[in-house]
Amino acid sequence: MLVAFSVAPTTSNEDDDGSVTEAVAQAVKVVKDSGLPYELNSMFTIVEGEWDEVFSVIRRATDVVADTAPRTSLVIKADIRPGYTGQLTEKVRRVEEELGGLV
């Protein structure tokens, strides 16, 4: 399965510039240390693996962020396709192939 998730602390400090970089970096470290295939982009972290292992990583990443603030936001989107692996890159490759490598 592929799971895209975004976790960040919420803030109410008006003097704060709204950056959540430090907390998000801590969450991404949890993902990186898990050894699961992942991809980071400006909005989400995408993790590939089996249900229990992926959601365990998301839980741990969320806990790390929750330690930094009294309130945490978590968004999750999953592509559940039993029997398929390597889809983190394969799905993109198929679209690029369809477009004639124009991506």
pLDDT of residue 19: 81
Tally of domains in the chain:
1
pLDDT at 103 over 70: no
Q: Over the stretch 18-61, which tens digit does the pLDDT of each residue have?
A: 788 899 999 999 999 999 999 999 999 999 999 999 999 999 99
Alpha-carbon separation of residue 4 from 12, 15, 35, 77, 89 (angstroms): 26, 31, 16, 5, 14
In a domain, 89, yes or no: yes
Which distant-in-sequence residues (6+ apart) come within 8 Å of 91 by Cβ? 2
In this prediction, residue 10 has a pLDDT band, given cuts at 50, 70 and 90, of: confident
pLDDT at 13 over 70: no
pLDDT of residue 12: 45
Indicate the SS3 state at residue 92: helix
Domain of 53: which CATH number? 3.30.70.930
Exposed, middle or buried by CB within 10 Å (0-12, 13-18, 19+), for 43? exposed
Q: Please tell me what DSSP assigns to residue 19.
A: -
pLDDT of residue 17: 76
In a domain, 103, yes or no: no
- Using DSSP bridges, classify how beta strands 45-48 and 2-9 pair: parallel, antiparallel or unpaired: antiparallel
Computed over every residue of the chain, the mean pLDDT equals 91
Please state, in angstroms and rounded to a whole number, the distance separating the CA atoms of residues 53 and 24: 20
> Domain of 23?
2-98
In a domain, 25, yes or no: yes
Please state, in angstroms and rounded to a whole number, the distance separating the CA atoms of residues 60 and 35: 14
What's the average model confidence in pLDDT over 94-103? Answer: 83
